[in-house]
Structure 1
């Protein structure tokens, strides 16, 4: 049994959190709103995908089998996140966070992100011209962690892809020495049967880490009426409370870039002051930093690993409305961390292999001591499971 002292030790060593920036999906569906400022001039024509034989997974078990048996390939040996989206040509586009590379590659053995392209008979690692991260670092200190991905056909057989990102800054030499700075996004153009081309990278808002405020990019949901429901997670200031509280806001697509125009749920109604936002899920036995919130058949679901790294259970909360009351149901999966391995970033994939009454979920797995990953990179790959919906 993990003691509180063990938990405190793990927490000190492993505090990596990622923020799922689902609002980028909205921008994609509505044509990439023009208020986002580009930092890139155009697509990179010399990127490549190194193709290897591949059979498309048909079940969740197939996905796990592929992840478990995939040998280290040029550019990829392991990574976290593992979000995916379908391309118009039938292939799929997968994004990973901090990515382990084989030592035989040359260059860095870890980059902030990577992309895999998978089709009916081919799987390959996307390699940018410089051979480094798929979405390049902003500078020597700030890089990008993918947290979500979505796509839309471009009308000409190709696909527009947007990757939601958290930008992070290195604050030391260790693997866990980082600071979250805010949300960002990258846009790719993928021609039919072709190589993805990075079109642009967006930083949304200034670099402004503030742990006392909810991180509003934790999850988002676009309702049929065009309302964007945003969810923020806030770290508790109470001792020995390891979960995050969940808070709700709402806005419209044109105002996504203007938080001062958002409305916040105060427990009774929508108000203009962020400081009046109350928790719709409390931090005690609360959610992780990043989670999934979605609606199906009139019920709202929040899916998360309870109490972040130091918890051991994946839980689904249900609510009749987007603002609660959210009620936790019994655990749907056991995801314990220990002194050697941590599990985190449990996410729902309601569009992946959908079946009535259930949802596909995933979670990331990592070694507490990252020096062990080169000898056993399979310790650093996501796992998938189908779980029942309450």
Structure 2
């Protein structure tokens, strides 16, 4: 854990966001302020980040276009391949994507493998967001524990967005062929402030609860959704039972301004919202359950959970549907097959939904992570280590 604390770290996180966005407020009152805009570094707490140069691409219209982009666009030194790929849209029309273990080129000036990274997409460019030290965007703890992104959600504010990223604390291998060689120590949350048209800046990272390797306690932030003034935070847990390979799904809610205050969270116990996390009920059971990381979203009054059933050992991409965020969630028929091939070493895992990406009423874009158990293959061909995309139908009520 950190042993030193900066002035910025001692400030409440809401005040840090105010300081970070203050130059934009000044800009609103006169053109003369433009020349004096000190930029994102004005925030004493921010870990300064800068975007790389544009990686151009053509306009995306279909899931096939997305797949061609993922498998064909040559990345810069800063981004060769990665997994996860959760995304959110900003009020200025740009889109943020967060990734897990990220491979950089051999000649990159900085860390070659990092546990997390971020890309910013506009209509024609992809830009990697780099911290000043060229390490992970959400830095490792001093003891080497790092952070894998799981979900991402946006809260709009005047002139800027607050972006919350659900993370899991991990200890172990941080290389593509070490996907299973890690221990999950519990959840964390990172908050970014993104001024319209400018580079995302990390405001705060907070571990939620003490380190623990007990898989029976939910890892909150495995999925998240913003709806009707609440942030719904979903957690996954795995019981210590033979022949049960899936994770159970649980749900909490919190007001956006209280996201980092665990005492303000409310947990669904099967009948009502209450404040004891130990009483959180499963809204999807572990037997035949979801993956450790998944997507939950609302559309037209229905809620959907998108996941690979039974994690790595499963094959079925399944969508559970519900009349509300607390269930009951009912599994539909498999909408796609995404098996891993242990003989060939190909790993397919972690499908994530992108409901506001190329939206259609009766279907949704889904990505899934792909990797290879042989690191040398990934090193020689990073395209093996990038998400794939497809469009799948939503369940019919």
Query: Which category describes the TM-score, using the shorter chain as reference length?
Result: 0.7 to 0.9
Secondary structure in structure 2 of the residue aligned to 1:61: helix
Deviation at 1:106, TM superposition (A): 4.8
Long gaps (5+) in structure 1:
1-30
In structure 1, the partner of 2:135 is 132
| Distance of 2:203 and 2:394 partners within structure 1 | 38
In structure 2, the partner of 1:331 is 334
In structure 2, the partner of 1:290 is 293
| Distance of 1:271 and 1:155 partners within structure 2 | 32
Between stretches 199-208 and 287-296, larger displacement belongs to 199-208
In structure 1, the partner of 2:187 is 183
Change (3 A) 1:241 1:123: same
In structure 1, the partner of 2:203 is 199
Alignment of 1:198-347 (within 5 A): 198-224=202-228, 226=229, 228-250=231-253, 257-258=261-262, 262-266=266-270, 268=271, 274-339=277-342, 340-347=345-352
Alignment of 1:1-390 (within 5 A): 41-45=44-48, 47-152=50-155, 155-156=158-159, 159-170=161-172, 175=178, 176-224=180-228, 226=229, 228-250=231-253, 257-258=261-262, 262-266=266-270, 268=271, 274-339=277-342, 340-390=345-395
Q: Which has the higher contact order (CA 8 A, sep 6+)?
A: 1
Change (3 A) 1:161 1:248: closer
User: Under a length normalisation based on structure 1, what TM-score does the superposition of the two structures give?
Assistant: 0.79
Change (3 A) 1:142 1:302: same
Change (3 A) 1:350 1:239: same
Long gaps (5+) in structure 2:
1-11, 18-42
- May I ask how many residue pairs the two structures share in their alignment? 355
Q: Deviations over 1:289-325 (max 9, x none)?
A: 1222223233222211100011001101122343333
CA contact (8 A) 2:103 2:114 kept: yes
| Distance of 1:215 and 1:71 partners within structure 2 | 34
CA-atom RMSD in angstroms: 3.2
| Distance of 2:172 and 2:384 partners within structure 1 | 23
Deviation at 1:276, TM superposition (A): 4.7
Change (3 A) 1:215 1:132: closer
Secondary structure in structure 2 of the residue aligned to 1:63: helix
Deviation at 1:161, TM superposition (A): 3.6
| Distance of 2:147 and 2:67 partners within structure 1 | 26
